[in-house]
Amino acid sequence: MEKDERLAILRGLPKVELHRHLEGSLRLSTMLELGRRHGVDLPLDNEEALARVVCFQADEPRTLANFLKKFHSGWYRSYADVERVTTEAIEDAAAQGVVHLELRFSPEHLVRTSRLQPQGVMEAVCEAGRAAAAEASISLRFLVTLTRERYDFSFWRMVVDAAADLSPEGLAGVDLAGDEFAHPNQEYQKIFQRVKDTKVLGISIHAGEGTSAEQVLSAVKLLGADRIGHGTKAVEDESVMEMLAERGIVLEMCPISNYQTGCVDELTRHPLPELDRAGVVTCINADDPSIQRSSLNDEYDVAVTRWTYTLQDLLRLEQNAVGGAFLPDEQREAVLARVEKGYAESKDQGL
Ligand SMILES: [Zn+2]
């Protein structure tokens, strides 16, 4: 079967996506337009010229540091800009078949080159997001991202408290991202204790992406992670895998991102299947589709072609994601019913 044909079938399958960054989901056309409007100092002659700077290139070093260089914050100069990119990110996810999305964003990143206020940005994302999700008939939650190398306790505490206040608007969790080589989990215990104390926010920690299984362990033990972003290195330690499986901690895995950051050498040898076989709860996510220049269904295509995953395997991953979603039980049941119905209807299409 040709790739396009597979992608068309995959698009029709209902998906639950727990790990997508707003800042990594901007359309190239939108970056070009906003960049020109705001006089951003990047090559803006056309989409391809811009893509060479803001998207991963096949001939570049596959390192996390190189990948992180692709994020720029000059696009956001007004709340309308923030609302626009939020709306488009949700439209694009829905077009991939996503029926429940958890979109994460960094208030600090979104206000870095503007006079926007972090609370205002958080409200703008929630408001635009809710409208876009209603329009697309999908379920939606948000996480705020804190970036390790920009630790600032009083700013972070303000973001966490504002996130808790916005929980009725769909803000459901806090994420820790950034350079985990230079900034291990131990530095962030105090702030994540505060997150726990809110009792309304879940915790997702980028951990063991390129470092070690030990970082995955400490994300759970020290920071109280409900879910782990990536966690690819967990596969290197059986006791960590056992702990994850026992506690039902969901690993939000993003194969193409893991390849481009050099955390895995080959997509065929991505650790998801081994973790899955060991009983660790895993799911598939797009991470930063515009930076990767790939779609969520390209990630699913990896599962089908490189790991020979069947529809039944993919359904199991969706059920895993539903289980880890930051949703109240009633809504979780509704999402699960929608996913299972969609799979039942597409049973005979084959892949
Ligand atoms: Zn991520």
Question: What are the pLDDT digits (tens) for 39-48?
Answer: 999 999 999 9
Q: For position 1, what pLDDT does the model report?
A: 85
Domain 3-341: homologous superfamily in CATH:
Metal-dependent hydrolases (3.20.20.140)
Above 80 in pLDDT, residue 256? yes
Is 209 annotated in the active site?
Answer: yes
Tell me which residue has tokens 């893509």.
Answer: 51
Active-site annotation holder among 123, 209, 252, 318: 209
pLDDT band at 244 (very low <50, low <70, confident <90, very high): very high
Whether 228 contacts 234, CB under 8 Å: yes
Encoded tokens for 106: 């960094």
pLDDT at position 348 is 65
The model's pTM: 0.97
- As residues whose CB is below 5 A from the ion ligand 1, the structure lists 229, 287
Report how far ligand 1's centroid is from the alpha carbon of 244 (Å): 19
Q: Is the pLDDT of residue 219 over 70?
A: yes
Nearest to 249 by CA among 329, 319, 324: 324
Q: What is the DSSP letter of 348?
A: G
Q: Place 16 in a pLDDT band, splitting at 50, 70 and 90.
A: very high
Strand ordering across the sheet containing 281-284? 15-21, 98-105, 139-147, 171-177, 202-207, 227-230, 250-253, 281-284
Domain boundaries, the chain: 3-341
Q: What is the pLDDT of residues 35-91, one digit of tens each?
A: 999 999 999 999 999 999 999 999 999 998 899 999 999 999 999 999 999 999 999
- The CA 89 to ligand 1 mean position distance, Å, reads 15
Tell me, in angstroms, the distance from the centre of ligand 1 to residue 206's CA. Answer: 7
Q: How far, in Å, from the CA of 4 to the mean position of ligand 1?
A: 26
Question: What is the average pLDDT across 265-269?
Answer: 96
Indicate the DSSP class of residue 235.
Answer: G
Task: Determine the distance separating the centroid of ligand 1 and the alpha carbon of 257, expressed in angstroms.
Answer: 8
User: What CA–CA distance (Å, rounded) separates 266 from 64?
Assistant: 16
What pLDDT, on a 0 to 100 scale, did the predictor assign at position 347? Answer: 73
Which residues, including other chains, have CB under 8 Å from residue 41's CB and lie 6 or more apart? 74
